[in-house]
Amino acid sequence: MIRLILFLFTLLLSHCSINETASLWKNKETEIQPNIQKLFEENKNIITEFNQDLKIDLTNVKTNTLIFNNKNNFGFKDYIGKFKKIGKYNFSKFDDINQLDFKPIFLKDGLIFFDKKGSIIRYDKNQKILWKVNHYTKSEKKLEPKLNLFLDDTNLLVSDSIAKYYSIDINSGKLNWSKNNNYPFNSEIKKYKNKFFVIDYSNTLRCYNIIDGTECWNLQTENTFTISGSKFSLIIIDNTVVFNNSIGDITAVDIESGLMKWQLPTQSNDILNETYSFKISKLVSDENSIFFSNNKNEFYSVDVKTGATNWIIEINSNLTPIIGDNLLFSVSNNGFLYVVDKNIGKILRITDLYTNYKIKKRINIEPIGFVIGNSNLYLTNSDGKLIIVNLSLGNVIRVEKVSGDLVSEPFIINKNLYIIKNGSIVAYN
């Protein structure tokens, strides 16, 4: 097992892949949707503004205080902050990291995060450490495991990048149970009743029992044997879990039986050789449809029950879209804000958020993630800056420097905004 873990870890660092041969692939019976229709003609990228003077009416959009949501539908958050730093939660810096795609566990009286050796840290609301525990061996610590966290009542569920998963008590940090998988995990964690779900690098959805970590069932989709460039996403709607894999397949599975309900391939077989460069956003649902986009210039709306494609429009983005009433908001990988009618897939407005950057500089900048407050959009970028945008008008209000290095997507929790830097989580009011 240790040899397998070391091999996979080396593979992760080097971004290498094993060339697939035809004999390795299993034939899978899937329901392929035949009636996919693009609403726009084929273009590489939309790089011009559209209806930029259109004012978007946001009076009917409601804010919320959600921390967890099985449909990834967090919508507009309650935040009218001044964006002034009010605190910092420090941890040891990660080494050899190219993205901060992690999410802390936010509590009413603090938060929980981890450091470069896999130590889990609970902080109080004044940024003081209440406890710090590490449930890894000496050799495992050297692999610097990256953790995915999920709060289940008073227990914290953890899956990591070295194929380990376990549960600890959040009051003490004491280990409840610990188990190992054959492959590292590469997704967020979702929970339904007494089960939790996570996806590993073999494109396999795994269902585990929360009480003791035993596996209930698993479903493997096509495995490319190539490391994905982005995390996989999953959502839960009623008794169905829907997830994506590294080649763009969207699969719906019955929660109790683990049997496939439907599968929608979104990419041709050519993507098998481009898995690392292929990136897809998180899946988001309003209960009727599932929305997601990718860096192949495709934004999808898919029917929840059947997997049939409602519409496809051209938006080149692997950032998580946000739903507000009947509107969808997305930011493209070249810095354009899109406002879309989610019911029919009609683009209402496109505005350039990188207008303050010179052309030579903006080609080296990418958006990291965004969140929407009461009336403003907050976008973090690869240059360590945060852009604050008036969402109704689409104009940039101000640009703030958060870091000179990597930053995470922004999070709005309990009327504060948080951004992860390498070595700290910064809180703003």
Tell me what pLDDT residue 228 has: 73
Residue 304 lies in a domain: yes
What is the Cα–Cα distance from 41 to 316, expressed in whole angstroms? 14
Residue 293 lies in a domain: yes
Q: What are the pLDDT digits (tens) for 102-125?
A: 999 999 999 999 999 999 999 999
Instruction: Give me the residue label for tokens 């951004």.
Output: 419
Residue 132 lies in a domain: yes
Mean pLDDT over 345-367 rounds to 94
Contact in structure between 93 and 425 (CB atoms under 8 Å):
no
Contact in structure between 376 and 397 (CB atoms under 8 Å):
yes
Residue 192 lies in a domain: yes
**Percentage of the chain exceeding pLDDT 70:** 87
Contact in structure between 146 and 96 (CB atoms under 8 Å):
no
**Strand order through the sheet with 298-303:** 284-285, 289-294, 298-303, 309-313
Residue 405 lies in a domain: yes
How many other CB atoms sit within 10 Å of the CB of residue 193? 9
Q: Is the pTM of this model over 0.85?
A: yes
Q: 157 is in which domain, residue-wise?
A: 2-12+36-428
**3-state secondary structure (DSSP) of residue 141:** helix
- 308: domain CATH number is 2.130.10.10
How many other CB atoms sit within 10 Å of the CB of residue 294? 23
Mean pLDDT over 126-145 rounds to 97
Residue 385 lies in a domain: yes
Q: What are the pLDDT digits (tens) for 261-309?
A: 999 999 986 666 666 788 999 999 999 999 999 999 999 999 999 999 9
Residue 320 lies in a domain: yes
Number of domains in the chain: 1
